[in-house]
Amino acid sequence: MPKPRLGQHFLVDLSFLGLITKSAELSRTDAVIEVGPGKGVLTKALLAQAGMVLAMEIDERLANRLHEKLGHSENLEIRHQDARRVDWQAVNLELRQKGYKKVKMVSNLPYYLATQMVIHLLATQDGCERIVIMVQEEVARRMCAQPGGRDYSAYSIAVQYYGKPSFIKKVPASAFQPPPRVSSAIVCIDRRSTPPIELSNPEYFFILVHGMFMHRRKTLRKCLQGVSGMPTLLVWEKAIAQAGIDFKRRPETLDMGEVARIVTALEK
C-alpha cells in the first residue's frame, strides 16, 4: 500500500521519462542523485545514461525491493536514508572524488519536501550543477515566475538568486498511481556559479523579501505594516526613496535587482 504521508505517487505514464532524462543531458561522466526512487522506473532510465546513480529512499520496504530489482547494476548505489538529513556538500564531494565531472539531481520528489529541499540544494556550496525534478505544478510555476506574474513570490526570488529555472512540462495527475490531488510539472534548474546580484548580507535580504511578500499586493509603502521584525515606516520610506523606487509600486512587480537596491539603502 502506498504511504500518502511519504508522497508516494508512482509514475505510471512512462512517456515522461524521456523528457526528464533529456532535460538532464546525462552522460557517463555524470553522477546522478535520485531522491525517492520508489519502484525504480526513473532509476532504470537514469542508469541507462548516467555514470552512476545514488538513490536515496526513506521507505525500507521500497529500498529492499529496489535492491531486488536493480541491485545487480554496477553503477547503482541504494541508500535507505531520509533525504532531509543529508549533508549535500559532503555527498557532492564524495561523488566528485569518485571522478565524476558533474553531479546532478534528477528526481520525482515527494511534494511535502520539494520546496525546502530545492533551496537547500541550490544554496549548497559546490552542489549539484543541474536539478531536474518533478514537483507540484504550482511550485514549479512559482520557481519560474517573473515580476508582475501571478505566481511571483519570495520563493521565486530565492530560487532565481541561486539558479536559473525553466518550466519543462506540465504532467497530469493521471500519470501517477495513486493519482495526487493536483497536477505536477517537470522543472530544470541550473545552479548559478555566481549570484546575479551582489549582496553584502544575503540572510537579511531573504528575511526582508519574505516580509515584503507577505502582503505582495499592497503598495511598497504599506507592505511591511504589521509584519514583525521589519524596519519602521520612517526607515523603510527613506530606503525606498534612496533606492529611487516609486512608493506606489507593489512588491510583486519588483525584480531582484530593485529589491537589492532597497536592502542596500536600508543597510546604509
Taking the complex as a whole, how short is the minimal distance between the CB of residue 88 and ligand SAM, in angstroms? 13
Q: Which is nearer to ligand SAM, 18 or 148 (CB)?
A: 18
Name which position in 23, 31, 44, 57 contacts ligand SAM (CB under 6 A): 57
Lay out the sheet containing 130-136: strands in order across: 76-80, 52-57, 30-35, 102-108, 130-136, 184-191, 163-171
Check binding of 58 to ligand SAM (CB under 6 A): yes
Per-residue mark of binding to ligand SAM, 66-105 (x: CB under 6 A): ----------------xxx---------------------
Taking the complex as a whole, how short is the minimal distance between the CB of residue 51 and ligand SAM, in angstroms? 20
Count of residues binding ligand SAM (CB under 6 A)? 24
Check binding of 115 to ligand SAM (CB under 6 A): no
Q: Using CB under 6 A, which residues numbered 36 to 55 contact ligand SAM? A: 36-39, 41-42
Q: Which is nearer to ligand SAM, 10 or 167 (CB)?
A: 10
Taking the complex as a whole, how short is the minimal distance between the CB of residue 49 and ligand SAM, in angstroms? 16
- Contact range with ligand SAM by CB under 6 A, out of 9-17, 140-148, 151-159, 225-233: 9-17
Check binding of 11 to ligand SAM (CB under 6 A): yes
Taking the complex as a whole, how short is the minimal distance between the CB of residue 125 and ligand SAM, in angstroms? 22
Q: Using CB under 6 A as the criterion, which residues of the chain lie in contact with ligand SAM when the complex forms? A: 6-11, 35-39, 41-42, 56-59, 62, 82-84, 108, 110, 113
